[in-house]
Chains A and B, each alone.
Chain A
């Protein structure tokens, strides 16, 4: 028995190593399945909770063009949530169960959404920095070993890179605008910079799952490598905007060919992960309210569908 299991796992790993996708009906180690359910659903939850901080500005968008773009963006995020929930369902878990995990607080979602969006410039900064950081992670995931996840990511990445450009363009308009608009943009960068840096997760030495994730191609680069990539790509963009990144230790390191940067406040990171961010409670409360208040609606839809099916059955009988 022992040998057979080992050999199945070996075969499985060989398939991944040779670049083959794993599909829903293929054999997979239980840990692979569980890890993927956790990761894909966390990702789906992040899309869905992520609708809230941006949804917060739909009614106050400063122009019709911006309002339409923001509505479309939040709608895209709901769509991403849907594909990702479907990808998670292929691993044998239901939407209801996933939803219950989110609403009860058992499942995690990206901590970045536990920060408040307090000005219009946050719609720019979130697109530019948060979507920018997300894309770095997600481009890597288009090559991940689990087929349904990888395919969902291809589509999501296309839309996310559009969102990022849109966010940057909001920042650009503000930075080409009045002093008040520039100040609004700088303030948003000041607030979103460090939380965005935290999106890549703990330092490599504090990230015990990295090795296994690399083996399964959920990860191709470590947290710290991805964070460096984010800094290197974002600093020149901030320079074009004429904004200052709030890190006094940030400087180009000729020898490394990368920017050096300051230390992340890991206490804040873990605090927010543990649920103590400004918006943690509100985000979960909003999700729970939407779900609970929607129960009678979902019940009505299924009762109606049953009645219609019954009518059709009677007709054909």
Chain B
């Protein structure tokens, strides 16, 4: 039972990084300039590196023939536990940055907590990942400010992205059964407690960026429990393509 919960919890952590990493990977070679192209690819690389750590641990728990790749690529859509936020498309650079920013601030909070987890594997992964994610927060916050307080056009685009994506933010903090188990057994953080710090941090950067959160938001929940958006099937169609078309092979 404990192992099953831990396995699920590793999926919660890994799937967010994985789907966001996949989205960023789509941009490779198409960035607004080489420097940002390199930075976004770098973030994608960091995220996939973390995913490998989580899923190697998950595969060990699962046992049998399980590998990091079978955990990552051979599940059905409803078995993925990432949030709506990370599966949102690369609409434009403003959406890419704001999506990243909303996730990074959350990610940093989570990893900080995981460094004190009862689970040693999670502590080790968090300690390694936090340095990377501190940089991600720095990168996306800086770009939020550049876009928000840049030109009229960039402000408008950034504000649209904030208003569009904010509705997916609170799902990050709505604990699933697995996440509640993690909090109770001190494997993971109590998400509810992190919400106010999150709101403070996000609001403070947005304020500097002359951007604002929408006044009224109907938040969307469900992806974490397997009810994904229409985007997810297409993400997985590409992501799983080789594993599905050529099953049981080594690459």
A contact set with B: CB distance below 8 Å: 48, 51-52, 55, 58-68, 71-72, 74-75, 78-79, 81-82, 85, 120, 170, 173-174, 176-178, 180-181, 286, 289-291, 293-301, 303-304, 307
Contact = CB atoms under 8 A, between A and B. Distances in A.
Contact of A71 (B28, B34, B55): B28
B36 interface: yes
A215 B3 CA distance: 70
Contact of A296 (B29, B30, B151): B151
B238 to A, nearest CB: 4
Interface stretch (B102-110, B127-135, B141-149, B170-178): B141-149
Interface string B50-92: 0110010000000000001100110000000000000000001
A298 B249 contact: no
B251 A62 contact: yes
Given A71-B25, A304-B145, A65 B41 contact: no
Given A81-B34, A294-B93, A64 B150 contact: no
Interface stretch (B118-126, B219-227, B239-247): B239-247
Nearest to B69: A63
Given A296-B151, A296-B153, A62 B242 contact: yes
* A-B complex: 6 closest residue pairs judged by Cβ atoms: A294-B32, A300-B150, A300-B154, A62-B242, A51-B29, A55-B29
Nearest to B158: A300
Contacts of B37: 51, 78
Nearest to B209: A304
A72 B239 CA distance: 18
Nearest to A178: B249
Majority secondary structure of chain A interface residues (helix, strand, loop or mixed): helix
A308 to B, nearest CB: 9
Interface residues of B, number: 47
Contacts of B33: 294, 297-298
A75 B242 CA distance: 22
Interface in B1-58: 22, 25-26, 28-38, 41-42, 44-45, 48-49, 51-52, 55
Contacts of B195: none
B26 A59 contact: yes
Given A64-B55, A79-B38, A52 B29 contact: yes
A300 B36 CA distance: 13
B186 interface: no
B157 interface: yes
* Most chain B CB neighbours (cut-off 10 Å) among A65, A181, A290: A290
Nearest to A79: B38
A75 B37 CA distance: 8
B153 A299 contact: yes
Contacts of A170: 251
B251 A63 contact: yes
A170 B251 CA distance: 7
Contact of A66 (B25, B42, B251): B251
Interface centre among A72, A289, A303 (most CB of B within 10 A): A303
A117 to B, nearest CB: 12
Contacts of B92: 293
Given A297-B93, A299-B151, 15 more contacts: A58-B26, A58-B28, A59-B26, A66-B251, A67-B48, A71-B45, A74-B29, A173-B250, A173-B251, A176-B250, A181-B249, A290-B30, A298-B33, A299-B150, A304-B149
B246 A180 contact: yes
A118 to B, nearest CB: 13
Contacts of B145: 304
B51 to A, nearest CB: 6
